[in-house]
Amino acid sequence: MAISVKEHIDPVSESELIEIELFLQAIHMKFGYDFRNYGKAHIRRRIRHRMVASGFSSVSEMTHKLLYDSFFYQEVLQDLSITITEMFRDPEFYKAVRNEAVPFLKTYPFVKIWHAGCATGEEVYSMAILLLEEGLLNRVQIYATDFNQIALQKAKEGIYPIEKIREYTFNYQKSAGKSSFSEYYNALYGSVKMNESLKKNIVFADHNLVTDGVFGEMHLVICRNVLIYFDRDLQNKVINLFYESLIPGGMLCLGSKESLLFTDKATAFDTISEKEKIYRRKFIK
């Protein structure tokens, strides 16, 4: 047999695409989580990763396992949800929040903040620390939400691996932190536990941006590095959800590579910081 001829396989054969669509459809029908409007390149990567890790030869084989094995389903759900984050991720962003958003928040007697897609909570605690240092924490209510229950549980516990602390401390300092980062946690047995006092105004709750509704009367909505996983239609839908959730003049913070540009609310917000993606809902439509 000649082996010099290259195999001309097209790995995204039409059939595989169909298999992936059916897999996502099965998740939606059986469990109510809808990944059908996620960016396909990313979803494909995650699904193939699971396929290889669990020793399947096709996506269809996995669909069967998914439907009849709830333990496997939990694994798939974790695969499809992004929980990679860090404290004070993008320090310049937090600096911008201090300088641009905090003065505005200070004008209200009580402040409601929605942190959508909070994953394991690192960025929620970062915001709580910032608000504490700005003297605002005792008059805010932070709603930290995610659809991933396992991640949400970790967020509630606020326990993180100690090896991350160097990086977090570096980020904190770069973000113009006013104190010493070690003030905010206790180290024990290879982990750090965030201070209980940071949690007292945080409510952790299950919320799915794809299928659930509006959170009312927010002064600040933070949703960073979530929209990049959505296709344009879903991005548009979620930006509308944020718009409806904000008071007029309320602020919206997105991830550094996300923008309102392609959404139909592009002109309904003013830009506070283009670089750090901080926007403000206009007072008049």
> Least distance (Å) from another protein to the CB of residue 137?
27
Q: Measured from the CB atom, is 158 or 258 closer to another protein?
A: 258
Please report whether residue 258 would count as binding another protein according to CB under 8 A.
Answer: yes
Q: How far apart are CA 237 and CA 229, in angstroms?
A: 13
84-110 per-residue burial string, b: 16 or more CB within 10 A, e: under 16? ebebbbbbebbbbbbebbbebbeeeee
Q: How far apart are CA 135 and CA 226, in angstroms?
A: 29
Q: Measured from the CB atom, is 6 or 285 closer to another protein?
A: 6
Please report whether residue 2 would count as binding another protein according to CB under 8 A.
Answer: no
According to DSSP, the residues that pair with 223 across neighbouring strands are 254
Please report whether residue 259 would count as binding another protein according to CB under 8 A.
Answer: yes
Q: Which tokens go with 59?
A: 């996506």
H or E segment to which residue 269 belongs? strand 269-273
- One symbol per residue from 167 to 196: x for binding another protein (CB under 8 A), - otherwise; what is it? ------------------------------
> Least distance (Å) from another protein to the CB of residue 277?
11
Please report whether residue 268 would count as binding another protein according to CB under 8 A.
Answer: no
Count CA atoms closer than 13 A to 285's CA, side-chain side.
4
Q: Measured from the CB atom, is 10 or 196 closer to another protein?
A: 10
Interacting residue ranges for another protein, rule: CB under 8 A: 6-12, 39-42, 44-46, 82, 84-85, 225, 228-229, 232, 255, 257-259, 262
